[in-house]
Copies of this chain bind each other. A is one copy, B any other.
Amino acid sequence: MEESTGRPTKKKVVVVGGGLVGALNACFFAKRGFNVEVFETREDIRQAKVVKGRSINLALSHRGRQALKQVGMEDKIVSQGIPMNSRMIHSPSGKQSAIPYGKKGQFILSVDRANLNKELLTEAETYPNTKLNFDHKLQDWSAETGQMTFARPDGSEKQINADLIVGCDGAFSAIRKQFLRRSRFNYSQTYIPHGYMELTMPPINGEFAMKPNYLHIWPRNTFMMIALPNLDKTFTCTLFMPFDEFEKITTGDEVIDFFQTYFPDAIPLIGVDALKEDYFRLPGQAMVSIKCSPYHIGDKCVIMGDAAHAVVPFYGQGMNAGFEDCIVFGEVLDQLNEDFSAVLPEYSRVRVPDDHAIADLAMYNYIEMRAHVNSKWFIFRKHVDNLLHVLMPKTIIPLYTMVTFTRTRYHEAVDRWHWQEKVINRGLLFSATGAVLGGSYLLIKNPPDISKLIIPAEKMRDRLVVLWTH
C-alpha cells in the first residue's frame, strides 16, 4: 500500500464516485472501521462555483431515511427538506385536488441534491479512517488484484491497492465497463422516448407561488409536469415530454401556446418572459433505465447505486434504492463476517431482484396510454387504495405505501401488490366497500387490472405513453 497509518488497519475499501451513494457508502464503511478512500472525478462540489450534473429534484422517503439514520444523519437532512404530505393534481381547467401519500403524518421530503451531497461528504470526512480525493479520474484498474490507477489534472498518477472496490460512479459508471466485458454479465440500458426539462417558478411577494407541502402534478396523458418546493421558496418544475414534441416547439410564442393548452395555471406563476426564455436554455434531457446482474466480480469489486441500477424518475425511488443498497450490503457484511468472498455473491443474489423490481415499477409508472387512465381515474384509484388501507390496514397496503413508507423488499411489494389486485378484482371486498363507495361500486367490482399492465423496463421504449405518477 502507498500509505502507512502507523498501525494495523482493517481492509482497504476504495469507493469510486463521490456522489450521493458514494459519499453515504464511505460513511457506512468508515463506521465499520474499514480504511476508506473515495475517488471522485470532479472537483469538490463544496468548493465549486457551478455544480454540474443531474438536477432533477429528489424525493427522500423511508428507505433513504433509514440509511441516513444508520450513520446518524437522518434528523439533520430531514430538517433541511420540505415535507410533502400529498400530491396536488392540477386539472387542465386549473382545478386542484389533493391526494395524501399515505396516512396522516406520512410524507416524502423534497431535498436539494447538491446540499445533500455536500452534507454527506462533510460527514464522511469526520471519520479519521476516511480520505476523500477529488479531481481523480479512474484510468485503469484490475478486479483481480484490486490495483487501481487514477489520473490527476496535473498529469500525475496515483496508484492504490484496494481490498474492495466499490463502484458508486453513477449511471455511466466507468467501473461497470469492465463488468460488460465479462462473460455471463447480463446488462440492459433503455432510453425512454421522453425527455425532461427544468423550469423555475419564483416566489411571489417572498412566498411560495403555490402551496408548499405538496408535490404538484399536472398529468396530461403523453405529457406531464411536476413541481417540487425548494428551501428558497422557489419551485422546480419538471416538464416530461416526448423528444419529438420538445422539438416541435421552436419559438417563445409556441411555448406559451403549448402551456396555454396544457398548463394554463402555471403560466402566470412561472412568468411569460421566463417561460419563453428558459424553455430554450437546454434541450430536453434523456432518461435511461439500466438493469444488470451480477453486481460483483470475484471478491474485490461490487457496484451499487445508479452504477448498478439507474431507474427512470417516475417512482421517486432512485436515490432511496441506492441508499438502501448501503443498508443491505451492511446486513450481508454482518451475516457473513465481512468475508468479501462470501459477501459479494450473496449481495448480488439478494439485491438484484429488488433493484430489478423497482426499475420495472418506475418504468411501469411511465405507462401505455389507456382510455381510462386520466387524472380523474388516477385520483379515484388513489382514494380507493387509501380507503381500503384504512378499512383493513393489514390486508390492503397500497403499493405506493409499501415502496415509499416501508422497507418491504421491492420484489415482495410487487408480488403482494399482484395478490391484492387479484383480491380486489375478484370482488371479495365488494361487500365491505360497496356501501362506502356508493355509486362507484361498478368500478370497484371490475376495476382495470392494472397489475397486468406491468411491462419489463426494457420493453417500454417504443411505446406511446402516459405519465401518471408519484
Which A residues form the contact surface with B (CB < 8 A)?
172, 180-181, 183-191, 286, 293, 456, 458-459, 461
Contact = CB atoms under 8 A, between A and B. Distances in A.
Q: Tell me the dominant secondary structure on chain A's binding face.
A: mixed
Contacts of A186: 189-191, 458, 461
A458 B461 contact: no
Contacts of A459: 456
Contact of A191 (B181, B183, B458): B183
A181 B191 CA distance: 12
26 contacts: A172-B181, A180-B180, A180-B189, A183-B191, A183-B286, A184-B191, A184-B286, A185-B189, A185-B191, A186-B189, A186-B190, A186-B191, A186-B458, A186-B461, A187-B187, A187-B188, A187-B189, A188-B188, A188-B189, A188-B190, A188-B458, A293-B461, A456-B456, A456-B458, A456-B459, A458-B458
A189 B286 CA distance: 21
Contacts of A191: 183-186
| In the complex, the 8 A-B pairs of residues with the closest C-beta atoms, listed nearest first | A188-B188, A184-B191, A183-B286, A187-B189, A186-B190, A184-B286, A186-B461, A458-B458
A189 B183 CA distance: 10
A183 to B, nearest CB: 5
Contacts of A190: 186, 188
Contacts of A180: 180, 189
A183 B183 CA distance: 25
Contacts of A461: 186, 293
Contacts of A456: 456, 458-459
A140 B260 CA distance: 50
A337 to B, nearest CB: 26
A286 B191 CA distance: 27
A286 B190 CA distance: 24
Nearest to A187: B189
A184 B285 CA distance: 10
Contacts of A458: 186, 188, 456, 458
Given A188-B458, A456-B458, 14 more contacts: A172-B181, A180-B180, A180-B189, A183-B286, A185-B189, A185-B191, A186-B191, A186-B458, A187-B188, A187-B189, A188-B189, A188-B190, A293-B461, A458-B458
Contacts of A293: 461
Nearest to A181: B172
Nearest to A243: B184
A185 B290 CA distance: 12
Nearest to A293: B461
A184 B293 CA distance: 21
Contacts of A172: 181
A184 B194 CA distance: 10
Contacts of A184: 191, 286
A184 B185 CA distance: 21
A188 B460 CA distance: 13
A351 to B, nearest CB: 15
A183 B456 CA distance: 21
A458 B293 CA distance: 12
A189 B458 CA distance: 11
Contacts of A185: 189, 191
A219 to B, nearest CB: 25
